[in-house]
Amino acid sequence: GESVGLHLPTLSVQEGDNSIINCAYSNSASDYFIWYKQESGKGPQFIIDIRSNMDKRQGQRVTVLLNKTVKHLSLQIAATQPGDSAVYFCAENPSNTGKLIFGQGTTLQVKP
Amino acid sequence: EAQVTQNPRYLITVTGKKLTVTCSQNMNHEYMSWYRQDPGLGLRQIYYSMNVEVTDKGDVPEGYKVSRKEKRNFPLILESPSPNQTSLYFCASSKLHNEQFFGPGTRLTVL
């Protein structure tokens, strides 16, 4: 797998490798976090979410890790496939508000 | 099929000509929101609504209006569009404090 530092705009991985996309969030009051995937020409699509009372959540081939101490969120994609190529956004929801604050996005490129 | 729909999908207009972009959801969601997406700036929230007749400003509300007269609809109104409102617009809906479902987007060009 390939680990990246906080917000690299582009991540290139080999098909079959694991991908790790990182995100730093800004608001200590945020208690809900979401990862979205956006393919070219489409709207963002929900991947996985996590609430602040958890530090890890797993889905199908994806895992989200939350470190509240350093305000860091990561998305791990196992066995990355060409169909995973997209822009990935993290988003935070400050507690008791309707706001959703998006990160800058990371473009994941999967090489065959 | 559960979905968020937006109309129109593409619009080219001129400065100052009022326009409305419609958004509708069929999931009985309380929450609806509008975003604009610009290169290098990501997705920014314009307005949101946590229920009927309840709306609030997001991060970039200037030049936009919204209304929420019914639960399913959340139109975005540009009273006097300007070229800096050229952007890709997304509507989204959700149950309160849950993942948002996004529409397909409306690409607006203001000449």
Put simply, whether B2 touches A (Cβ < 8 Å) is: no
Cβ neighbourhood burial of B84 (10 Å; 0-12, 13-18, 19+): exposed
> Given a cut of 90, is residue B98 above it in pLDDT?
no
Q: Is the pLDDT of residue B29 over 70?
A: yes
Answer yes or no: do B44 and A102 touch at CB < 8 A. Answer: yes
pLDDT at B26 over 80: yes
Q: Which residue has the higher pLDDT, A5 or B19?
A: B19
CB within 8 Å: A104 and B42: yes
Distance CA B81, CA A92 (A): 30
What pLDDT score was predicted for residue B23?
A: 98
At CA B30, angle to CA B28 and CA B34, rounded to 5? 105
Residue A7, pLDDT > 70, answer: no
Residues 6+ apart with CB under 8 A from A74: A20, A21, A22, A23, A64, A65
- Mean pLDDT along residues B8-35: 97
Say which residue, A9 or A36, is predicted with more confidence: A36
Question: Which tens digit of pLDDT belongs to each residue from A39-58?
Answer: 998 999 999 999 999 999 99
Nearest CA in chain B to A35: B99
Token pair of A99 as six digits: 């706001």
Predicted confidence (pLDDT) per residue in B35-72, tens digit: 999 988 889 999 999 999 999 999 999 999 999 999 99
Whether residue A2 is predicted with pLDDT greater than 60 in this model: the reply is: no
- 3-state DSSP assignment of residue B37: strand
Residue A40, Cβ neighbours under 10 Å: how many?
Answer: 7
Least Cα distance to B104 among B50, B41, B46, B37 occurs for B37
Nearest residue of chain B to residue A94 (CA atoms): B97
CA distance B76 to B79: 10
**Token pair in block for residue A90:** 């993290």
Please enumerate in sequence order all residues whose Cβ is within 8 A of that of B44, keeping only pairs 6 or more positions apart, or say none.
A102, B35, B36, B37, B38, B58, B59, B60
